[in-house]
Amino acid sequence: MVVVRHGETEWSLSGRHTGWTDLPLDARGRRQAQELRERLRGWRFEAVFSSPLRRALDTCRLAGLDHDPLVRDDLREWNYGRYEGLTSEEIEAQRPGWSLWRDGCPQGEDAAAVGRRADRALAEIRGMAGDVCVVAHGHLLRVLGARWLGLPPEAGRHFALAAAGISVLGHEHRDAVLSSWNQR
């Protein structure tokens, strides 16, 4: 499974938590998505899965992955609730010591809820016979990577993922493995 984080947006550039707000890619994000086309050229995917949010779908299209992507709500970014649009520093000013991974978001999701969505997506993906590509969002993909490896959702805190980063999750013998992560 190849996982691709969408290209840059105005909010991702400024460090604002961008969950379910449907922002477009910025100019750099569109270039990043177009550059993915060359980087993914050697892959033949049985299926491409995408978040329904515009930044992920536009990344699919610009990267040449737009042949009927399977759009899944479970691949939406973390619901940041009241913290949507705020930077970590702004949240910390309101709630000192806050950690997304430990504390979650009021009126939004915690790591366990995102983990359940990731598990549902992985159940469908694991049913595919060939290589699969997933185009989605930073925090969701970090949780997806952790769950692929059998780790708790909170372990996603250890998997940094840049805009337009590519990662490969696979198997060695019967074990789920992280073949590469955050290639740019």
89 is catalytic: no
Q: Which fold has domain 2-183?
A: Rossmann fold (3.40.50)
C-alpha to C-alpha distance for 163 and 176, rounded to whole angstroms: 24
> Could you say which of 6, 17, 137, 139 is catalytic?
6
C-alpha to C-alpha distance for 52 and 69, rounded to whole angstroms: 10
**Rounded to whole angstroms, what are the CA distances from 168 to 3, 8, 86?**
6, 20, 30
- pLDDT per position as a tens digit, 51-65: 999 999 999 999 999
Domain ranges of the chain: 2-183
Q: Where are the beta strands (DSSP E) in 25-79?
A: 47-50, 70-71
- pLDDT per position as a tens digit, 86-132: 999 999 999 999 999 999 999 999 999 999 999 999 999 999 999 99
Q: What is the pLDDT of residue 69?
A: 95
**Rounded to whole angstroms, what are the CA distances from 26 to 4, 58, 101, 151?**
17, 11, 27, 33
Q: Could you tell me which residues are beta bridge partners of residue 180?
A: 168
Q: What is the pLDDT of residue 77?
A: 98
124 is catalytic: no
> Could you say which of 8, 10, 67, 77 is catalytic?
77
Q: What is the pLDDT of residue 130?
A: 93
Backbone angles phi, psi at 115, to 5 degrees: -60, -40
Flag whether pLDDT at 66 surpasses 80: no
Longest alpha-carbon distance in the chain: 48
Q: What is the pLDDT of residue 164?
A: 97
Q: What is the pLDDT of residue 154?
A: 98
| pLDDT class of 135 with cuts at 50, 70, 90 | very high
Choose among 65, 55, 28: nearest CA to 138.
55
Flag whether pLDDT at 67 surpasses 90: no
Flag whether pLDDT at 84 surpasses 90: yes
Q: What is the pLDDT of residue 171?
A: 94
